[in-house]
Amino acid sequence: MSHKLVKIVSLVLGNLLVALAVTCFIVPHGLVLGGSTGIALIVTHVVPLPLSLAVLVINAVLFLLGAAFLGRSFAASTIFSTIAYPLAMSVLETLPLDHLTSEPMLAAVCAGALMGAGAGLILRAGGSTGGSDVIALIAHKYLHVSVSALLWVIDGCVIAGQIPFSNFEQTLLGVLALTLLTIVMNRVMVMGRSQVQLLIFSSEHEKIRENILGEQDAGVSVIPIEQGYTRQEGRALLSVIPRRKLWTIREMITSVDPAAFWVISEVSEMRERQLRRRA
């Protein structure tokens, strides 16, 4: 139940953040945007419709296409955002939030950060933002073209469609917001899961292993190795630890074996295997 609750909260908060970014910063400053929202912005310049209604209609059409061509699993992961995003936008449109800043650069930065955080939370919870991703996924399924390349082409076309309604500065700031969106989204997706991998080579590997397991309360694996120059067999230790433990473990290794050699690398995500003890 707690896992499902966290997932629902992440989906709600993620869609709310994206809607907040569009309503408070993108629309008031006329910034260009990709995806289904960008298509909706083009539509609202031609047809006098509320942006939230245009987004709902476009997302609904794309959702039906995705369900028809990509199957039920895609539909299940997308239906929440298809409804929640335009619903949150329609509520925010009634609030006086369009004058939070008069600086276009600040608006682009805030929009990119909020949209990136929102999209990251949605994807982290196993959901999907749907939108123009549907077109790219359908094309990939039948044409076997790279999804990322298709997304760049689609977003490029959507942005190009908004150029007649925007000036050069608004276009550049919109591209800046999209760049920040990608950066923040990737960071949020692995937030709290980033770990440090420590590969240790030492003649005192057994004592270091005991200290990591006991004093540091961290997991460790013993890897058989063969030295490249002497061809002697030995043991290396592999441990994935939180960043906060890195300094303490490094100090411990140095105190046990000043001649120890180690390699540190960053790990984006780690899945722990739960072991059951027999009674």
* pLDDT reported for residue 276: 42
* pLDDT value at residue 106: 94
Cβ-proximal residues to 18 (8 Å cutoff; 6+ apart), any chain? 85, 88, 114, 115, 118, 119, 122, 129
Q: What is the pLDDT of residues 125-135, one digit of tens each?
A: 877 776 777 88
CB 24 within 8 A of CB 93: no
- pLDDT-derived band at 194 (thresholds 50, 70, 90) equals low
Question: Which H or E run contains 172?
Answer: helix 168-189
Alpha carbon 202 to chain centroid, angstroms: 38
Q: Could you tell me which residues come within 8 angstroms of residue 237 by beta carbon, excluding any fewer than 6 positions away?
A: 198, 199, 200, 202, 205, 208, 209, 212, 220, 221, 222, 223
For 33, counting Cβ atoms within 10 Å of its Cβ (0-12 exposed, 13-18 middle, 19+ buried), the class is: buried
* Share of the chain residues as helix, strand and coil, in percent rounded to the nearest 5: 65, 10, 25
Domain ranges of the chain: 2-189, 195-267
pLDDT at 31: 92
Say if residue 217's pLDDT is above 50.
yes
Structure tokens at 187: 């960071």
Annotation: CATH topology of 195-267: Alpha-Beta Plaits (3.30.70)
Task: Give the mean pLDDT of the chain.
Answer: 84
The pLDDT tens digits of the residues spanning 149-163 come to: 788 888 888 889 998
Residue 278 has pLDDT above 50, yes or no: no
For residue 270, name the pLDDT band (cuts at 50, 70, 90).
low
pLDDT 10s digits, 63-107: 888 888 877 767 777 888 888 888 999 999 888 887 888 899 999
Instruction: Tell me the three state secondary structure of residue 261.
Output: strand
Please tell me the distance from the alpha carbon of residue 187 to that of residue 112, in angstroms, as a whole number: 13
pLDDT at 112: 93
pLDDT band of residue 172 (cuts 50, 70, 90) is very high
The whole-number average pLDDT for the span 179-204 is: 83
pLDDT exceeds 70 at position 198: yes
pTM comes to: 0.72
pLDDT band at 279 (very low <50, low <70, confident <90, very high): very low
Place 13 in a pLDDT band, splitting at 50, 70 and 90.
very high
- Residue 18: predicted pLDDT: 92
Q: How far apart are CA 237 and CA 268, in angstroms?
A: 20
Write out the DSSP string of 115-163: HHHHHHHHHHTT----TTHHHHHHHHHHH---HHHHHHHHHHHHHHHHG
**Do 81 and 130 touch, CB atoms closer than 8 A?**
yes
Residue 184: strand, helix, or coil:
helix
* Mean predicted confidence (pLDDT) in 28-36: 89
| 209-237 core/surface letters (b: 16 or more CB in 10 A; e: else) | bebbeeeeebebeeeeeeeeeeeeeeebb
Give the CA dihedral 34, 40, 41, 46, nearest 10 degrees.
Answer: 140
